[in-house]
Amino acid sequence: MDSHKKLGLIGRNISYSFSKKFFENKFQKLMLKDFSYDIFDLKEINEVEDLFSKPGLLGFNVTIPYKEKIIDYLDELSEEAQKIGAVNCVLIQNGKKTGYNTDAVGFEKTLLLHRKPHQNSALILGNGGAAKAVKYALDKNGIPSKTISRNSEINFKNLDKETVENHKIIVQCTPVGTFPNVDDCLDFPFNGITKDHLIIDLIYNPNYTQFIIKASEKGAKTVNGYYMLEQQAEKAWEIWNFQKK
C-alpha cells in the first residue's frame, strides 16, 4: 500500500502560495519523504468532491473564496469553526471530513504580541471568513469590535474620522491590495489614525500594502499577516499529525 501522504490548499486563482513553500520546507527539515503539498485551484466549490476521493489525502488548507462554502461538504466542525462559521483547515480521517479554524489562533497570537493596554476596542474591515475568525479572537479576549463592510450599518462610505480615532485597533481583513493589485487601497479615513493605533493587515504579499504604508505615515504601529499565516500553518500541521497517533 502506498504510504504517501498528500496535503494541499484549495482556493480560486491561487497565483502564489505561502503554504506550499512553508510545508515543503517543513517536509525537508523533518526529512519526510512521503509527504507532498499541492495547490488545488477550484473554479467552483463542488469540485472538492473529486478531491475527497484522492487516495492518501490527509487534509488541506482552505483560502479565499471557500472558507465558508466548504462547510456544506464536511461531516463535522471543531468548536471554533462552528462558532466562527468559517474553516481554513480540513482533516480527513477514515473517510470522515472535519473542519477546523486555525486563523483565529494565528490572529490571536499576532494581536497579543503587539497590543498595548490602551488599545481596547477594534474595527474589523471586511466580513469574510478571515474577518469572522478575527472577531472570534477579539471576543475571546474581551475586546469589543465593530465590523465595517460594504453593507454594514457603518460602511466604507460613512465611516468617519472620529470612529477611527476611538478604535485603537484596526484589522484589515479584505483582499484589497493583495499581489498583483498592490496599488489598490480601501477607501478609508486615514486622518483618524494616530500613533496610539495598532494596525494589522492580514495580507502578507506584498509585505507592505498601501493600507499599511498610509497608516504608518500617521505614526501607527503596523503589522502584516505573515506571523498569523505562519502560526495558522503550524496549528494545521498539528491537527493533521497529532490525530494519527
**CATH code of 197's domain:** 3.40.50.720
Domain co-membership, 110 together with 209: yes
Of 51, 70, 101, the residue at which a domain comes to its end is 101
Domain co-membership, 207 together with 115: yes
> Is 29 among the catalytic positions?
no
Give yes or no for a contact between 224 and 212, defined as CB atoms under 8 angstroms apart.
yes
Domain co-membership, 108 together with 95: no
> Model confidence over 109-160: pLDDT tens digits?
999 999 999 999 999 999 999 999 999 999 999 999 999 999 999 999 999 9
Domain co-membership, 83 together with 156: no
Domain co-membership, 110 together with 222: yes
Query: Does residue 183 sit within a domain?
Result: yes
Give yes or no for a contact between 54 and 16, defined as CB atoms under 8 angstroms apart.
no
Provide the domain limits for residue 87: 5-101
Q: Which three cell numbers mark 115?
A: 497590543
Domain co-membership, 72 together with 123: no
Query: Does residue 245 sit within a domain?
Result: no
Question: How many domains does the chain fold into?
Answer: 2
Whether the pLDDT of residue 242 is over 90: the answer is: no
Mean pLDDT across the stretch 100-116? 97
Query: Does residue 242 sit within a domain?
Result: no
Q: Compute the mean pLDDT over every residue in the chain, rounded to the nearest whole number.
A: 95
The closest of 129, 130, 162, 127 to 146, measured between CA atoms, is 127
pLDDT band at 245 (very low <50, low <70, confident <90, very high): very low
Q: Read off the pTM.
A: 0.92
Domain co-membership, 88 together with 113: no
Q: Is the peptide bond before 117 cis (omega within 30 degrees of 0)?
A: no
Of 6, 20, 67, 168, which one is the catalytic site residue? Answer: 67
pLDDT band at 2 (very low <50, low <70, confident <90, very high): low
Mean pLDDT across the stretch 47-52? 95
Q: Is the peptide bond before 65 cis (omega within 30 degrees of 0)?
A: yes
Phi, psi of 69 (to 5 degrees): -65, -30
Domain co-membership, 189 together with 222: yes
Whether the pLDDT of residue 84 is over 70: the answer is: yes
Domain co-membership, 221 together with 150: yes
